[in-house]
Each structure stands twice: as structure tokens, then as C-alpha cells.
Amino acid sequence: MTGRRASKKSSAPVIDPYLPTAGNFGYRVSRYELELEYKVAINRLGGTATVTAVTLAELQTFSLDLSSALSVAKVTVNGKRPKHFRTDRDKLHITLADRLPAGAAMTVAVRYSGTPRPKRTPWGEVGFEELTEGALVAGQPNGASSWFPCDDHPSAKASFRIQIATESAYLTLANGKLLSRRARAGMTTWTYEQSEPTSTYLITLQVGPYTRRRMAKNGVEIFSVLPDRLRREFDHDFGRQPQMMKLFVKLFGPYPLADGYTVVVTDDDLEIPLEAQGISIFGANHCDGRRGSERLVAHELAHQWFGNSVTAQRWRHIWLHEGFACYAEWLWSDHCGERSADDWARHYHRRLVDSPQDLVLADPGPQDMFDDRVYKRGALALHTLRRRIGDDAFFALLREWTSRYRHASVVTDDFIALAAQYTEDSLRPLWAAWLYSAEVPELDLP
């Protein structure tokens, strides 16, 4: 079966009503291997993507998500050409000559090329984007298909190997461990391995006139990738990240990735920072020499636990990403002796009360899933829970949450069920008020 937009004229099932055309049926991907070349000067991308999967049912037709801006030259499935393939509305549809049984191994190789561009979505342009000098990928929520064929849904996690050749003047960064870097004839081929299961939207590519340095050697390795002109401001604005990492490991549990954490600052300004697996991406405007974006630094780092490792199964549960990362901002502020978490809670509670009260946190709707109220109300729900069950139980709960569901997919009920184990009192009234009602509850703080 292929993923299609749900409408009154079609009863075709969808994986996620928030993004009804994203994701695909009939198989589960375990690995992507990309062998690509990108020419910065002409914004030209091409190469081969090899997708390793297993069929979930008897299968003769299936689809992959792939931007219509990219042209497919050749497809093979288990080494053989299919009966037919076609591209239509950001889908690559494949029909096999013979059916594959359920549980069969399936290796799909797609040779493609084109001029990549961001996808236009209700939340702005997402995906592969040209910079003044270089490129970046901002994949959330459905931008991965702007540069490689995939099953583009957060619950579809896989490992990745990304090999990409670019002009040697540029540093090229992708997720995971750098396995090799080979220069030849003015081009450098970079090969990265992301071994931990990762959602497609968290796979990124960063190309630019950057320098890479190690920021911290003890505990979790932290690296920086940015233009030399921003180094002085960066060292001040992002300099407390090692302490931030130490705090979050203490509160949230072990850092979930083996190959460290990298912060990228582009030579261009960016409207908002972006998270990726093991990587956070900031714009030059976030280096102001005054630590003016430090709350965002904390937010993006926290996503490595909440969102990147423990990932919402469907986008309606996005508060499990953004509410937790927002609350990490308050925890860092409190830890630094600046504004306390109680003060932040009071501040944002007042703002929420003065805002439209028409958002249900556990199901905000696709138009509002990135609304700031999701972030702040989610953080307030967590702070209310913390005050209800106490610090010891609350942070033990967070550590078990990140351990039990490490590199897995979750829904709100998973968190509710786990939280119930950390108190003898019923939490139903708390969840009813904060997660399932539009009205903003009163804030019960001393």
C-alpha cells in the first residue's frame, strides 16, 4: 500500500493525520546508505540511496517519500529492476514483477539527482536549503525527503551511513562518527556512520566554510563547527556547554549517543535553531557575544534526550519533545543562580492565561504543533508534576524515561503510565487539567 492524502473521496489509511502524506506502509527500514555528490556552486545533488528493509505484509507495490524536485534514473529491488516505478507528488512508487512474502528482506537502490530545495509546509520551508555559501538540512517535521528517498516519519528509525563528496573548500558534516575523509581532484569525500536508530527528520547535512574544534574532552566529547570569524563570540556564548552537559547527564541520565555532540553555527542568520541527532544548528545571529541565546543552547542540547532519542510516535505527542526541552531551559537557569524554575513557571503561566485558551496539549492539531504554547504549557505540566511528587521522584522518573525508551518511539500514555509508578496519589486530575483541557489551570506554587 502507498501513503496518500486522506480525503472524503479516499479511505486510504494514513500513518499520522498531522502529516497525512508522509510515511509509507508495507515495510520497515533498518538502514540507509547514501553515496552522494553535492556541488555547492550550482546546488546540484546526485547519487545513490540504498534502503534496507523488511516487508511487514505480502508486498508488490510500495512507496518511498522523495521530493518532486529530484529525478529518479534507476531503481533496483534486491538487485533486480522492478516492473515499474514512477514519481508523483513527492512519492516514489515502485511496482515489483513478483510479490514479496511477509518478513522478506528488501534492499532498494535508488539512483537520483536534481536541484534540491526546501519543501513548502504549513510550518514554513523545511528540508534542504542553500546558504550564501554552502547548504544545510533542517528536516523537522518532514524535510528528509527533500534530499534522499526515505520513509519520512518519526517512528521509522534506522541506522545511516552517509558518504558525500563536496568541493574541498568546504567542511561537510553529517550525523554520527566521521569514518573517513578523502580528497581528490578538488573534491573531498566525507563518510559518516550514525549507528543509533534515528528518525529521518533528524538526519542532517551541513556544508560551509567552517572549522571544526573540540570543546570538551572529559565525559561527553563536544565539538564546534563554525566560521572562524565567529569564534570569539562563540567561545563566550556557547562556552558553558560542558557544564550544561554535566548537569543534564545528572538530571536526565547518560548522554544517549556514542560519538559526542556537535554544535554548528552557520555563516548566515537563522530564524530559529534546529535539532538533529547528535547535532544542533544555530545561525550567526545566535552569536551575539552576550550569551543572548543561551536558553536556546540548553533547549537544543536537551533534545538529544527528549525528541532525538525518546521520540514521539506521532506528531500529536510533540509536547514530549518541546515541553521537556523548554523545561530544561528553566533547569539550567535555576542551576546557574539566575531566574528559578518557579519564577519561570509563574512568568509563563501569566502569559498563557492572557493567551487564547483553545489548545489541548496532548493533541494541539497540526497547525499549532509548533505553537509556543505547546512548549510553555508542556514545561508547566512538568513543573507541576515535579512539585506534586518531589524532586527525587521527578528526576528519577526522567532518568527512567530516557533509559527505558532510549532510541525508541513513545506516546503520551507511556509517560503517564510511568509517572504513576512514582507516587501513591492519583495524577489523573493533573493530566486532565494540563494535557486534556484547553483552559489553563491555576498554578499551585508556594
Active site residues: 300, 375
- What is d(CA 213, CA 85) in angstroms, rounded to the nearest whole number? 45
Specify whether the CB–CB gap between 29 and 153 falls below 8 A. Answer: no
Is 299 a known ligand-binding residue?
yes
Of the candidates 320, 437, 321, 445, which has an alpha carbon nearest to the alpha carbon of residue 388?
A: 445
Is 303 a known ligand-binding residue?
yes
Residues in the chain: 446
Q: For the chain, what is the HEC assignment?
A: CCCCCCECCECCCCCCCCCCCCCCCCEEEEEEEEEEEEECCCCEEEEEEEEEEEECCCEEEEEEECCCCEEEEEEEECCECCCEEEEECCEEEEEEEEEECCCCEEEEEEEEEECCCCEEECCEEEEEEEECCEEEEECCCCCHHHCCCECCCCCCEEEEEEEEEEECCCEEEECCEEEEEEEECCEEEEEEEEEEEEEHHHCCEEEECCEEEEEECCCCCEEEEECHHHHHHHHHHCCCHHHHHHHHHHHHCCCCCCCCEEEEECCCCCCCCEEECCEEEECHHHCCCCCCCHHHHHHHHHCCCECCCEEECCHHHCHHHHHHHHHHHHHHHHHCCCCCHHHHHHHHHHHHHCCCCCCCCCCCCHHHCCCHHHHHHHHHHHHHHHHHHCHHHHHHHHHHHHHHCCCEEECHHHHHHHHHHHCCCCCHHHHHHHCCCCCCCCCCCC
Is 153 a known ligand-binding residue?
no
Q: Please report, in range form, the residues annotated as the binding site.
A: 299, 303, 322
Q: Please report, in range form, the residues annotated as the binding site for Zn(2+).
A: 299, 303, 322
